[in-house]
Structure 1
Amino acid sequence: MTAIDESEELLRSAGLRMTRQRRIILEILHSIGGHPDAGEIHRRASLQDSRISLATVYRTMRVLEESGAIQRHAFGGGPARFENAHSDHHDHLIDLETGDVIEFASDRIEALQKEIAAELGYEIVHHRLELYCRKVPRKP
């Protein structure tokens, strides 16, 4: 079963019909990569079907988020951005000047977080790390 098929099934189980418009939204979400916002998904979807409303995009994204198929992020208080929830754990570096979101994984950071939590008497159940950065000019 593909990621799109799984998302279709989640929408159906939430009581939503699988319309052509929702199918287009799913295809865009799964093909675009990165962390698109609803506006970007809507812009791309409306190129394929001008009848797709921004409200349809938001409703579809809400149901997918509630079902656990996608994760919603609000990096730096900006517009909600979305990514597939079925990817391996990773953290995010957000470039404050360009808005680019860079995914990364670090075993050292993961180990340090667990160590700090344990020292304080806790076990990490879930976490999200976001680093807000500016590019440093390279020295010649």
Structure 2
Amino acid sequence: MEIEHRAKAFEDALRRAGIRITRQRAALLRVLAAAEDHPDATQLHLRATEAGAAVSLATVYRTLSALEAQGVILKLEFEGEPARFEPADGTHHDHMIDVETGEVREFVSDRIERLQAEIAAEMGYEIVRHRLELYVRRKA
């Protein structure tokens, strides 16, 4: 999704939540919309500040909380890491977290998806939603 389109979707979600769109908040939303990684609140605050927005860290947290409540971003809580965020408009994917560097990589595996569905079916269930996180380190 184009950055401006995603930023507009974020703005619309905040308006639905009754939150005013200030210049600072609009700049933060553009930074979040442009993120190609999984930034945490502190990283978003730094990026917005570097982009010239005098936004407080408290505003970043309130904005992220409201966007999550509106269902337009996902809060990702990986072991031992601050919460990270990603837009909720993407296709389903899983995450691989490097335990040494903290790098988060997205991946999709049809084999894993089929196996999960088979296991759930064998136990009399169907999957409604799921999250898979693999904690990894590079082989020596």
TM-score (structure 2 length as normaliser): 0.94
Contact 2:41/2:60 (8 A) holds in 1: yes
Q: For the residues of structure 2 that align with 1:7 and 1:126, how far apart are their CA atoms? A: 23
Deviations 1:60-104 (A, max 9, x none): 000110111000011113101000110110000000000000100
Q: 2:15 aligns with which of 12, 15, 32?
A: 12
Task: Give the aligned residue type for 2:116.
Answer: Q
Aligned-pair Cα RMSD in Å: 1.2
Task: Give the aligned residue type for 1:5.
Answer: K
Task: Tell me the equivalent position of 1:52.
Answer: 55
Task: Tell me the equivalent position of 2:127.
Answer: 124
Measure how far apart 1:50 and its partner are: 5.8
Matches within 5 A, 1:34-113: 34-49=37-52, 51-113=54-116
Identity over aligned pairs, percent = 55
- Segments of structure 2 that go 5 or more residues without pairing to the other structure are none
Q: For the residues of structure 2 that align with 1:61 and 1:133, how far apart are their CA atoms? A: 28
The answer to whether structure 1 residue 114 and structure 2 residue 117 are counterparts is yes
Task: Give the aligned residue type for 1:66.
Answer: A
- Segments of structure 1 that go 5 or more residues without pairing to the other structure are none
Deviations 1:36-69 (A, max 9, x none): 0000000111223463110000000001101110
Deviating beyond 4 angstroms after TM superposition, the runs of 4 or more aligned structure 1 residues are: none
Q: How many residues align?
A: 137
Measure how far apart 1:19 and its partner are: 0.6
Measure how far apart 1:33 and its partner are: 1.2
Q: For the residues of structure 2 that align with 1:50 and 1:109, how far apart are their CA atoms? A: 42
Q: For the residues of structure 1 that align with 2:105 and 2:117, how far apart are their CA atoms? A: 23
